[in-house]
Amino acid sequence: MAATRYRRFLKLCEEWPVEETKRQRDLGIFLRQRVAQAFREGENTQIADPETCDQMYESLLRIHTNYYKNKYPRLKETSFTGVTVQDCKMILATDILKQMEDMKKGTWKKLRERFSAKKSEEDLK
C-alpha cells in the first residue's frame, strides 16, 4: 500500500503548478519538498499512520481540483474590495512585495540604515 500512496503523491506533485512569481513561498514547491521528506525511501517507505496520510492526500487533492470552488460557485470573480484574482496574484508576487516593503520604510528608518552602514564602514578602516 505504501507504494500506491507514494505514486499518488508523486502524481499530485507532477500536476501541481509551480508559480515562479512566489519564490520561496510557493505551495507547489513546499509540497514537493514535504513529499520527498516523507517518502525518503520511495515506494519502500513505511508509513506510521496510513489514515492520516490518506486524509492529507484527499485534502490536497480537493485543493488542487478546486473542489470547493466548484461546489460553492461565486456570483462575482471579485472580493469585497473589488480586486480580481489576477490583481491579487500580481500583488502577491515576491518582487512586488519587496517593493512595497521598501516603500513602507519611513524616512527615519531609511536615514538610520544609511548612517549605520556608513558607521560600520568607518569602523572597518
Contact 19, 26 (CB under 8 A): yes
Q: What tens-digit pLDDT sequence spans the chain (125 residues)?
A: 788 899 999 999 999 988 777 777 788 999 999 999 999 888 888 888 989 999 999 999 999 999 999 999 888 776 777 778 777 777 777 666 676 676 677 777 777 777 776 655 556 55
Statement to judge: residues 82 and 117 lie in one domain: yes
- Name which of 7, 35, 3, 30 is nearest 17 in CA terms: 30
- Residues spanned by the domain of 89: 76-124
What is the C-alpha to C-alpha distance for residues 55 and 53, in angstroms, rounded to an integer?
A: 5
What is the C-alpha to C-alpha distance for residues 7 and 13, in angstroms, rounded to an integer?
A: 10
Statement to judge: residues 69 and 93 lie in one domain: no
Statement to judge: residues 85 and 32 lie in one domain: no
Statement to judge: residues 6 and 29 lie in one domain: yes
Domain count, the chain: 2
Q: What is the rounded end-to-end Cα distance, in angstroms, of the chain?
A: 65
Statement to judge: residues 10 and 43 lie in one domain: yes
Q: Decide which of 56, 73, 90 is a domain's last residue.
A: 73
Question: Is the entire prediction scored with pTM above 0.85?
Answer: no
Contact 45, 39 (CB under 8 A): yes
